[in-house]
Structure 1
Amino acid sequence: MKGGEKNKQVIHQLLLLSALLFSGLEASALSYDYTASVECLENPHKPQYGGGVIINSELNEGLEGWSAFGDAKMEHKISATNNFVVAHSRFQPFDSVSQTLHLENDKLYTFSAWIQVSEGKTSVRAVFKTKSGYKHAGSVVAKANCWSMLKGGVTVDESGPADLYFESNNTSVDIWVDSISLQPFTQEEWKSHQDESVNKMRKRKVRIQAVDTFGKPVANATVSVSQKRLGFPFGCAVNQNILGNTAYQNWFSSRFTVTTFENEMKWASIESTRGIEDYSIPDAMLKFTKSHGIGVRGHNVLWEDPQYLPRWVDSLSTNDLKNAVTKRIYSIMRRYRGQVIGWDVVNENLHFSFFESKLGARASELFYAVAQMIDPTHTMFMNEFNTVEESRDSKATPSKYLEKLRSIKSSRSNTNLGIGLESHFGSGAPNLPYMRSAIDTLAATGLPIWLTEVDVQSGGDQAKYLEQILREGHSHPKVNGIVMWSAWSPQGCYRMCLTDNNFRNLATGDVVDKLLHEWGGRVEGKTDVNGFFEVSLFHGDYEVNLTPSTGLPSSSSFKLASTDGEPHQTTLLVRNS
C-alpha cells in the first residue's frame, strides 16, 4: 500500500474511533444485522453497517484503500449500477485484492462482501493475515453473471495489523468484489445483541391481576410465579445407560425437554446382523422419555460414513444395497413415526458419501423423498459438523450446506426440510462471529434450525466456552432448539460430560443449571394498587400462586408461547376467608 493510502486509512480509523468515543450510549446501542442473502443477485446490496471500518467499501472512490495481493493484477470497474474491484491474472489461490486494517483482540468482527467470478462457479474465501497466523472469516460459492453474499466473522489472538484478502483454489477465474463490510463489536455490545434478541424472541410480558369476588382489585397481594417446563427445546443426548439407573434418570428428567439417542437408533445398533433387527433398547428408552414428556429426535436413519454402518453393508451389490437401504428407511420410520419430533435422515453427507458413491449422486434426494412419504408431518433434517464451529472446513461451509439442501429439495416431495448443525467445538475459544453469521446465512432459507450435538473438547476453559456457545445459540432468533452431546457413560462421555459417575455436576453441568435457572426459575412480587403484577417471562409452562394479606390463597397455571407481542393476562380470584 502506498504511503498516501496508509495515511488516509489511519485518518479514517481515527475518525471512526472519535465518533465512537463521543457518541456515548449510541455506540453501545449499535444493533446486529442478522440478515443475509442466499440468492445470486443481479446487483449487490449496500454494505452492512455502511462498510464499518473498511475504506472505500463500495469502490466509489476508485481503488483507494485497496491494493493487489500476491501477484494478481487489480482493476477498478464500473457497471450500470455499481463500482467494483477485479483481481485478474491470478496464478496462486491467494492472488487477489487486499486492504490492511488494524484489528483488536478484544473485539468481535462481523464481515460481509459480495462476490462474483468471471466464469462458472467456485468457492471464494475471505482471509485475514495477522501476525499470529491466518484467520478464515468465511466463504461463498460464487458464480458468474450474478453477485453472491459472503457473510462471516472473525476474532484475533492479538491486536495489530491484518491484511484482508480473498482466495480461491480456482486460479483460472477473476474475482470480483463489492460492498465489503467489517464491523467491530465490543464484548458488551455482543452481549447486548443476545439480550435484545432473547427479550424479543424468547420472552413475553405477563400481566397477573388479583380481584375479589366483587371484581375489585386486590392490592399488595404476594404473587409467586414458577416455571414448570421451559418452552425453548433444550436437552442432551442420552444412551441405554439410563435404563434402570434411577440416579441418571432423576438428574436427566429434572432438566431436559428434548433428547437424542446417542447410538441406539442407528442402523449398526438395530441390525448388526443382516436380516435380524432388534429394537428392544430404543423401545425401552422411548418408554422412559414418553413417561417424562421428553421429545426425541430420530437419529439417524442413514449415515454416509461407512465406519458407522453395519459391517455387512459394504459387501452388498448395488441392487442389494438399494433394497437394504429402502428396508432400513421403512423399518425405523414406520416404527417410530409419531413418536419422534424430527428425523436426521442422512447424517454427515457433506463430509462422507458412501451411499452416493454406490447408488449415484441423487441418492440423498431419493432417501429424503422416501422418508417424507413415510412421515409427512415431521421435519427431515440434514445433520452436519463444522458448519458453524470451523471456518476452515471447506466441505461443510454454509454455502456448501445450502448447495446440498437445494439438491435434496429439487425433488418436489422434499418440502419439509430442516437444518441440523452438530456444533462439536474444539478446545480453543469459539469464533462466535463466524457461528452467528453462519446461522444467519442458513436462516435465510426460512427452514427450522437446530444445534443438534453441542459439545466442547476437553480443556481448561471447557465450561466457559460451553456457556458462550449455548448463549449464542439460544439467543439467535432463528435457532429452534439445542441438544448437547453429553450422554453419560461410566467409561466417560464422547467428549464432554456434565456430571461425574455419581451424577454430581461438573463445571459444565453447573453451566447448564445456571442457564436453566436464568431461562426459567421463580419470580415473586406484589400486586399494585390496581391489583396488577407485571413481569417478563421466558416461554414455557407456569404455575402462579397468589397470597393476599386477607382472604384465601389461590393458584392457576398457564402456558406462555410466542405471539405478536401482546401481553399474556391471567386473573386470579381472591375469596374471603
Structure 2
Amino acid sequence: MRSLRTGLSLASLVTGLALLLGAPPAQAADLPLRDLADAKNKVIGTAVAGSKLTGTYAEIAAREFNAVTPENAMKWGSVEPTRGTYNWAEADRIVDFAEANGQQVRGHTLVWHSQNPSWLANGAWTAAELRQLMNSHIATTMGRYQGRLATWDVVNEAFNEDGTYRQSLWYNGLGTDYIAEALTAARAADPSAKLYINDYNVEGVNAKSTAMYNLVRSLKERGVPIDGVGLQAHLILGQVPATLQQNIQRFADLGVDVAITELDIRMTLPADSAKLAQQAADYRQVLNACVAVPRCVGATVWGFGDADSWVPSTFPGQGAATPYDEGYAPKPAYHAIAEALGGTTTPPTGACTATYSVVNQWNSGFTGQVRIACDGASLSSWKANWTYGAGQQVTQAWNATCTQSGTAVSCSNASYNGTVPDGGSVTFGFNASWTGSNPVPTVTLG
C-alpha cells in the first residue's frame, strides 16, 4: 500500500457482487418472510417511520413483515412535545398502515429515561405529581389505540450493565416500584394488550439479564401484570451470545413470552463478502434460537434497510446492520432469516456483476472504473450503488450519471448504454478525491 502515498499508478483493486436475477430482488425468497413466520406461528416485524411509508419502502414493509413497531412515533417526546398538546399524526399513520396490511403493531415505548419532552425531563416534580403524569400518559396513549395494538413495551431500559437500576426520572422519583405501577396502569388502559419490559445487552446470561430475570420473577410472584420480556438484540458482528437460547428459555420458564424486539447486527464498514456471510450466520443463529423456544414469539428488525438504520449516526464507522442494503436489495442476512423460518432461496438463473477498479491514483485523487457484465442474464437498465468508507468524493463521471449523498454513491446508465445482453458488458468511469486511505467499496446493482 505504499503506492497510495507516493502517487504511483495502482493495479486494479477489484470487488464485485452478483445480483440474482429472474425475480425482483426483494422477492428472492420462495415466500415472503411474513408467510414463513405465519406458518411457524411467529412474528417477523420491522421498525418503521411513518414519513417513509411510501414507494419501495412501504411495499417491502407490507409484503415481508407481519408486524411493525413505530421507531419513534409513540415515544413521549413525539406524542406530547408540549404539555397537554398531542401530535398523533405519525403514530396514527403507522397503525392505519398496519391494519390495512394485516399486521400487528408493537407499541414502543411508554416509560423510558430517554426521548422525553423537555417539559417533563426538566420539571421539578413531587412523587405524587410524577406518578400522576406517568399514569395519565399511559392511559392517554394506550387508550387512543385500545384494542388495536397487540403488544406494548411498557418500561424500557430499566437496568445498568451491572444489574443495578438505572438512575432516571422514574427511578429517582418513584423508586423501584415505578415498574410495577406502570404495568398495572397499562393493564387498566388496555386489558387486551400484551405488556412487556424491554432492554438491551440482555440477550445472553449476564448480570443485566439476571437482574431482569429476578425482576420478572418477583413481579409474577406479586401478581403484577407482566406478559413478556423484550430482548433488543442490537448486536455486533460475530458476537451473538452463546447463551441466547438458554436465556430465552429461562424467561419462558417463568411463564412469560419472549420477543427479539430491535434486532440488527452492525459491522465495521465497508462491508465485504466475508462480513456479510458472518452477518447472515449471526441472523440465522438469533432466529434459530427463537424458533427453538415455543414462547419466543418472534423477532423484529430495527429497520430493514441500511439506508434507514440508526447505526451509522450512533456508531461512526459502523453500519450495514440490516437485512437489506441501501438500495433495498436483500442481503445474505435476509436469506438467512428466511431459511431459519423454514424457507428456501431461489437458485439464480443467471447473474450480472459490478466490478469496481481503481485504475490510477495520485496524492489527492484517483480515477475509478466500474464494469457491469452479465452471464446467463441480461439488463435493460442498470444502477450501481456503493458506500465510501473513508470520505471519498466523486467529482466527475462519464458513461453514467452519478450522484453522491454523504457516503452513498449511485450511478445509473446513460441513454445509450442501459442494455447489457447475456455475455455482454458496459463500463463507466469517474474521478474522485481522497485523503488518508482509499478502501475499495462493495458495489451492488439495483
Alignment TM class, shorter chain as reference: 0.5 to 0.7
Q: Residue 383 of structure 1 aligns with which residue?
A: 198
User: Structure 1 358/410 Cα, relative in aligned 2: closer, same or farther at 3 Å?
Assistant: farther
Deviations 1:430-473 (A, max 9, x none): 233x1121122212112111111122122522222112211222
* Equivalent pair of 2:109/2:156 in contact (CA under 8 Å): yes
What is the CA-CA distance between 1:302 and the residue it aligns to? 1.1
What is the CA-CA distance between 1:253 and the residue it aligns to? 1.3
What is the CA-CA distance between 1:344 and the residue it aligns to? 0.8
| Counterpart check, 1:448 vs 2:257 | yes
* Equivalent pair of 2:42/2:297 in contact (CA under 8 Å): yes
Which of 480, 486, 493 does residue 297 from structure 2 map onto? 480
Q: Which amino acid aligns with 2:115?
A: Y
Q: Which amino acid aligns with 2:190?
A: D
Q: Residue 120 of structure 2 aligns with which residue?
A: 313
User: Structure 1 325/442 Cα, relative in aligned 2: closer, same or farther at 3 Å?
Assistant: same
Q: Residue 46 of structure 1 aligns with which residue?
A: none
Which of 333, 347, 356 does residue 156 from structure 2 map onto? 347
User: Structure 1 462/241 Cα, relative in aligned 2: closer, same or farther at 3 Å?
Assistant: farther
| Counterpart check, 1:261 vs 2:70 | yes
SS of corresponding position for 1:235: strand
The separation in 2 between residues aligned to 1:256 and 1:327, in whole angstroms, is 32
| Counterpart check, 1:246 vs 2:55 | yes
- Structure 1 runs not aligned, ≥5 long: 1-225, 522-577
Deviations 1:364-401 (A, max 9, x none): 11111111112122221111222224x5x52x12x311
What is the CA-CA distance between 1:498 and the residue it aligns to? 2.5
Q: Residue 504 of structure 1 aligns with which residue?
A: 329
Which of 404, 408, 430 does residue 215 from structure 2 map onto? 404
What is the CA-CA distance between 1:227 and the residue it aligns to? 7.2
User: Structure 1 502/271 Cα, relative in aligned 2: closer, same or farther at 3 Å?
Assistant: same
What is the CA-CA distance between 1:339 and the residue it aligns to? 0.8
The separation in 2 between residues aligned to 1:281 and 1:493, in whole angstroms, is 18
User: Structure 1 421/519 Cα, relative in aligned 2: closer, same or farther at 3 Å?
Assistant: farther
What is the CA-CA distance between 1:361 and the residue it aligns to? 2.3
The separation in 2 between residues aligned to 1:256 and 1:283, in whole angstroms, is 19
Which of 186, 192, 198 does residue 371 from structure 1 map onto? 186
* Equivalent pair of 2:265/2:322 in contact (CA under 8 Å): no
User: Structure 1 338/483 Cα, relative in aligned 2: closer, same or farther at 3 Å?
Assistant: same
Q: Which amino acid aligns with 1:446?
A: G
What is the CA-CA distance between 1:519 and the residue it aligns to? 7.6
Q: Residue 575 of structure 1 aligns with which residue?
A: none
* Equivalent pair of 2:51/2:90 in contact (CA under 8 Å): no
The separation in 2 between residues aligned to 1:403 and 1:439, in whole angstroms, is 14
SS of corresponding position for 2:48: coil
TM-score for the superposition, normalised by structure 2: 0.59
Q: Residue 426 of structure 1 aligns with which residue?
A: 236
Q: Which amino acid aligns with 1:313?
A: L
Q: Residue 287 of structure 2 aligns with which residue?
A: 470
Report matched runs for 1:522-533 at 5 Å: none
- Structure 2 runs not aligned, ≥5 long: 1-34, 161-165, 269-274, 312-318, 347-446
The separation in 1 between residues aligned to 2:213 and 2:245, in whole angstroms, is 16
* Equivalent pair of 1:499/1:506 in contact (CA under 8 Å): yes
More strand per residue: 1 or 2?
1
| Counterpart check, 1:286 vs 2:95 | yes
* Equivalent pair of 1:313/1:321 in contact (CA under 8 Å): no
Q: Which amino acid aligns with 2:117?
A: P
* Equivalent pair of 2:107/2:152 in contact (CA under 8 Å): yes
In our comparison, the structure showing a higher alpha carbon Rg is 1
The separation in 1 between residues aligned to 2:70 and 2:281, in whole angstroms, is 26
User: Structure 1 519/366 Cα, relative in aligned 2: closer, same or farther at 3 Å?
Assistant: farther
Deviations 1:454-511 (A, max 9, x none): 2212252222211221122222233122212125474644352332343222333343
Q: Which amino acid aligns with 1:322?
A: R
* Equivalent pair of 1:486/1:497 in contact (CA under 8 Å): yes
User: Structure 1 229/480 Cα, relative in aligned 2: closer, same or farther at 3 Å?
Assistant: closer
The separation in 2 between residues aligned to 1:520 and 1:282, in whole angstroms, is 35
* Equivalent pair of 1:257/1:293 in contact (CA under 8 Å): yes
Q: Which amino acid aligns with 1:419?
A: V
SS of corresponding position for 2:64: coil
User: Structure 1 273/438 Cα, relative in aligned 2: closer, same or farther at 3 Å?
Assistant: same
Task: Give the number of aligned pairs.
Answer: 287
Q: Residue 42 of structure 2 aligns with which residue?
A: 232
Q: Which amino acid aligns with 2:322?
A: C
What is the CA-CA distance between 1:250 and the residue it aligns to? 1.2
* Equivalent pair of 1:232/1:481 in contact (CA under 8 Å): yes
Q: State the Cα RMSD in Å.
A: 2.6
SS of corresponding position for 2:267: coil
User: Structure 1 517/475 Cα, relative in aligned 2: closer, same or farther at 3 Å?
Assistant: closer
The separation in 1 between residues aligned to 2:152 and 2:64, in whole angstroms, is 23
User: Structure 1 411/229 Cα, relative in aligned 2: closer, same or farther at 3 Å?
Assistant: closer
Q: Which amino acid aligns with 1:238?
A: V
Q: Kindly, what percent of the aligned residue pairs are identical?
A: 24
User: Structure 1 439/234 Cα, relative in aligned 2: closer, same or farther at 3 Å?
Assistant: same
Q: Which amino acid aligns with 1:470?
A: L
